A and B are shown apart, each in its own frame.
Chain A
């Protein structure tokens, strides 16, 4: 159980994150009006669910792409390797926010046209699109790990014993020797997914295009932040800076915007420290 000891920085920050969320939930439960509270809860849960789905897609895309590239490379399939590398480089050249934005516009239009109606379809689609612009980081990590182990006798020693290359790569290298590295990357990906989602939802919600209606997309922390109520709440923070006697009101009358902003910033900060602590604990 030493892995879950609070002396580990990542576990400590995970506890801080969960405690922070619990404290905010308690405070909002007491002082935020019911409709706003429902929106915040829905937005937060949607954001977390989509970010978790992004982890699944990133892992799946990353693992599958890594295997394809590895086998093209080891079996000297030059043409498929060249094509795959070209496609990946094209994806790499697109800024993540821009890529996700275009994908979301597509989803919003499909939703608006009635092609996508249920969250059970929209969420995975949103996550799948977002993962498309994140998974290359996973590919880079996995390929780096495979390249490292291929240089060691370990890889050749198993091969000459007749152990299948797919088993060596999947089980011995990626699972047995790289899962902590992969998990650490996934923690960062979670933070990245929250950030991208909030950025893109915010951009869409404040009005990127007249063709896209933010109403067609699920509520997330990003879209909540763009709502007029939240904007006013955020402006109130600025007001409180010049009128300190107003600070008290922030925690009672401007809770929606403050909560949304806090949840985004606090989550990103905690993910950063959890990831750093995890790397430190596992000496990555």
Chain B
């Protein structure tokens, strides 16, 4: 595969945001680009595509000023037969145009396969046709994140169909999908891949998929093995300070072998006391909810986690996994609930002061889903453990040792003095995890603990969690990384959360 190679430098007000000397993607091939959140995957891809406003950021591509790259015939030709699906679908949609007008805007109007694309994208959801949202404006009607993401994918597929119908073989193409299934579950991810790769099989074009979801590797090897020679997995890694990153090949075997090994390991908890007992039925926001021991929702089960055990709660997006975690921690008050955290009985009438006095930081701790919102971004890195109810106050060396659990680079004084807000998303997520892992509690709840992490850090996080488990903590996992946690958690400790319907109940 012919690979264009890019040297890119992006700076803002004298501060380098990202520098890469070896960014590449397979021409007329399929490239999956991994890397921790905030490392610069989106920014670099936008720079190559020509989407950065030169007035906002200072960019150079292959040593040339950005305006030269924008006016380069290669870039101009590329934009004619390409599409960029943004990570945050809201930023793509015009609030003053209906969804229908937007998916038919400009060259997209020429596509005859719109109905078929929409039907395929919406059918799997069981929500019926997409027609419901076509005539609405993105604001104030606010389609859901999943709906917006599907609208963007529909636009991209229309553009691909136009390309495939055109006779201009060999045209310069680049279809960038930035976290295309971030708001969708695995079934949708697989459907998206199937649609995309079917089109690719009919005539190759250049695809760049930016993702944190390493389990996509398994799906490629499981369902699209014939395309393996055309697929390239790359990863951006930090090379040095000041945003220096390198783009290197990521070996899919590394992930697949690790996964196999994880599946093979046994994780017996032994006979230890229960850290959490949570009744199978509860009601929150007037919705009766139920926990089941099986995916078919046939066997209701109390959520029981003993010390030294890892449990995993599964449910489609929006059902209420995070709400369940917040109920356990007393942050959401349900109408009806019954639970016990290491012997402390709690229900819907228990005053919050009980959680404050007996649970928070003493018997249970929780990692929140979004590190950006869960951390004080104005604080310094060295302050991350301050205020925690630890047996011994952590000195500078203690802080370094704790950070060393998840940070492989040397913990310099400059790093300790850095404001958390200036760290990358992946670094923030590591701090978010470390703060809770430093606690010595019977129960740890982790809501999407692998969000925004690269593979190395993912394995480090899982190793750290395994150590906590062996040390006797009970871990309750909430994650969309089903493949990983299915491999790590005993089937008997997997729970399925669903809204109680007459059929289910």
Residue ranges of A at the interface with B (Cβ–Cβ < 8 Å): 75, 152-154, 156-165, 167-168, 171-172, 176-177
CB distance from B428 to the nearest CB of A (A): 12
Contacting residues, chain B, for A159 (C-beta < 8 A)? 331, 356, 360
Q: When each residue 315-335 of chain B gets 1 if its CB lies under 8 Å from chain A and 0 otherwise, what string results?
A: 000000000001001010000
Distance in angstroms between the alpha carbons of A161 and B373 in the assembled complex: 15
Contacting residues, chain B, for A165 (C-beta < 8 A)? 356
Closest 5 CB pairs of A and B: A162-B361, A157-B374, A162-B389, A163-B387, A153-B373
User: Which B residues from 377 to 432 make CB contacts under 8 A with A?
Assistant: 378-379, 387-389, 432
CB distance from A69 to the nearest CB of B (A): 18
Contacting residues, chain A, for B436 (C-beta < 8 A)? 161
> Are A161 and B365 interface neighbours, CB within 8 A?
yes
Contacting residues, chain A, for B360 (C-beta < 8 A)? 159-162
Quick check: is B305 within 8 A (CB to CB) of the other chain? Answer: no
> Are A157 and B375 interface neighbours, CB within 8 A?
yes
30 contacts between A and B (CB under 8 A): A152-B373, A153-B368, A153-B374, A154-B375, A157-B368, A157-B373, A157-B375, A157-B432, A158-B376, A159-B356, A159-B360, A160-B329, A160-B361, A160-B366, A161-B360, A161-B435, A161-B439, A162-B360, A162-B361, A162-B362, A163-B361, A163-B387, A163-B388, A163-B389, A167-B387, A171-B387, A172-B376, A172-B379, A176-B376, A176-B379
> Are B376 and A75 interface neighbours, CB within 8 A?
no
Quick check: is B46 within 8 A (CB to CB) of the other chain? Answer: no
Distance in angstroms between the alpha carbons of A96 and B365 in the assembled complex: 48
Partner of A161, one of B353, B370, B379, B388: B388
Quick check: is B303 within 8 A (CB to CB) of the other chain? Answer: no
Contacting residues, chain A, for B370 (C-beta < 8 A)? 153
Contacting residues, chain A, for B379 (C-beta < 8 A)? 172, 176
Distance in angstroms between the alpha carbons of A152 and B331 in the assembled complex: 12
CB distance from B447 to the nearest CB of A (A): 10
Contact A158 B378, CB 8 Å, known A75-B353, A153-B368: no
Contacting residues, chain A, for B432 (C-beta < 8 A)? 157
Contact A160 B364, CB 8 Å, known A75-B353, A177-B378: yes
Contacting residues, chain B, for A153 (C-beta < 8 A)? 368-370, 373-374
Contacting residues, chain A, for B329 (C-beta < 8 A)? 156, 160
> Are B387 and A160 interface neighbours, CB within 8 A?
no
Partner of A177, one of B361, B362, B376: B376
Contacting residues, chain A, for B361 (C-beta < 8 A)? 160-163
Closest to B375 in A: A154
> Are A164 and B374 interface neighbours, CB within 8 A?
no
Q: When each residue 340-366 of chain B gets 1 if its CB lies under 8 Å from chain A and 0 otherwise, what string results?
A: 000000000000010010001110111
Main SS class of interface, A: helix
A sample of 7 more A-B contacts (CB under 8 A), given A153-B369, A176-B378, is A153-B368, A153-B374, A157-B368, A159-B360, A161-B388, A176-B376, A177-B378
CB distance from B312 to the nearest CB of A (A): 20
Interface size on B, residues (CB 8 A): 28
Distance in angstroms between the alpha carbons of A218 and B370 in the assembled complex: 57
Contacting residues, chain B, for A152 (C-beta < 8 A)? 373
CB distance from B21 to the nearest CB of A (A): 30
Closest to B420 in A: A176
Distance in angstroms between the alpha carbons of A152 and B377 in the assembled complex: 12
**Most chain B CB atoms below 10 A, which of A152, A153, A158, A159:** A153
Partner of A154, one of B364, B369, B376, B439: B376
> Are B375 and A160 interface neighbours, CB within 8 A?
no
> Are B366 and A157 interface neighbours, CB within 8 A?
yes
Contacting residues, chain A, for B374 (C-beta < 8 A)? 153-154, 157
Contact A162 B376, CB 8 Å, known A75-B353, A156-B331: no
Distance in angstroms between the alpha carbons of A160 and B439 in the assembled complex: 11
CB distance from A259 to the nearest CB of B (A): 43
Contacting residues, chain B, for A167 (C-beta < 8 A)? 387
Contacting residues, chain A, for B362 (C-beta < 8 A)? 162
Contacting residues, chain A, for B375 (C-beta < 8 A)? 154, 157
Partner of B373, one of A154, A162, A171: A154
Closest to A176 in B: B378
Closest to A171 in B: B387
User: Which B residues from 139 to 195 make CB contacts under 8 A with A?
Assistant: none
Closest to B373 in A: A153
Distance in angstroms between the alpha carbons of A154 and B370 in the assembled complex: 9
Partner of B368, one of A156, A163, A171: A156
**Most chain B CB atoms below 10 A, which of A152, A153, A161, A164:** A161
> Are A160 and B331 interface neighbours, CB within 8 A?
yes
Contacting residues, chain A, for B368 (C-beta < 8 A)? 153, 156-157
Distance in angstroms between the alpha carbons of A157 and B369 in the assembled complex: 10
Closest to A178 in B: B378
CB distance from B169 to the nearest CB of A (A): 50
Distance in angstroms between the alpha carbons of A160 and B366 in the assembled complex: 6
Closest to A165 in B: B356
Partner of B365, one of A160, A168, A171, A176: A160
Distance in angstroms between the alpha carbons of A54 and B395 in the assembled complex: 39
Distance in angstroms between the alpha carbons of A153 and B379 in the assembled complex: 15
Distance in angstroms between the alpha carbons of A159 and B364 in the assembled complex: 11
Contacting residues, chain B, for A156 (C-beta < 8 A)? 326, 329, 331, 368
CB distance from B370 to the nearest CB of A (A): 6
User: Which B residues from 47 to 106 make CB contacts under 8 A with A?
Assistant: none
CB distance from A82 to the nearest CB of B (A): 20
CB distance from B128 to the nearest CB of A (A): 34
Distance in angstroms between the alpha carbons of A176 and B356 in the assembled complex: 23
Distance in angstroms between the alpha carbons of A156 and B360 in the assembled complex: 10
Closest to B419 in A: A176
Distance in angstroms between the alpha carbons of A160 and B369 in the assembled complex: 14
> Are A158 and B387 interface neighbours, CB within 8 A?
yes
Contacting residues, chain B, for A154 (C-beta < 8 A)? 373-376
Distance in angstroms between the alpha carbons of A98 and B388 in the assembled complex: 48
**Most chain B CB atoms below 10 A, which of A152, A162, A163, A165:** A162
Contacting residues, chain B, for A160 (C-beta < 8 A)? 329, 331, 360-361, 364-366
Closest to A179 in B: B378
Distance in angstroms between the alpha carbons of A152 and B372 in the assembled complex: 10
Distance in angstroms between the alpha carbons of A167 and B360 in the assembled complex: 15
User: Which B residues from 24 to 59 make CB contacts under 8 A with A?
Assistant: none
CB distance from B332 to the nearest CB of A (A): 10
Closest to B438 in A: A161
CB distance from A202 to the nearest CB of B (A): 42
Contacting residues, chain B, for A163 (C-beta < 8 A)? 361, 387-389
Distance in angstroms between the alpha carbons of A153 and B356 in the assembled complex: 16
Distance in angstroms between the alpha carbons of A190 and B353 in the assembled complex: 40
Closest to A162 in B: B361
Contacting residues, chain B, for A158 (C-beta < 8 A)? 376, 387
Closest to B328 in A: A160
CB distance from B45 to the nearest CB of A (A): 28
CB distance from B29 to the nearest CB of A (A): 40
Contacting residues, chain B, for A157 (C-beta < 8 A)? 366-368, 373-375, 432
Distance in angstroms between the alpha carbons of A65 and B149 in the assembled complex: 47
Distance in angstroms between the alpha carbons of A161 and B432 in the assembled complex: 11
CB distance from A204 to the nearest CB of B (A): 44
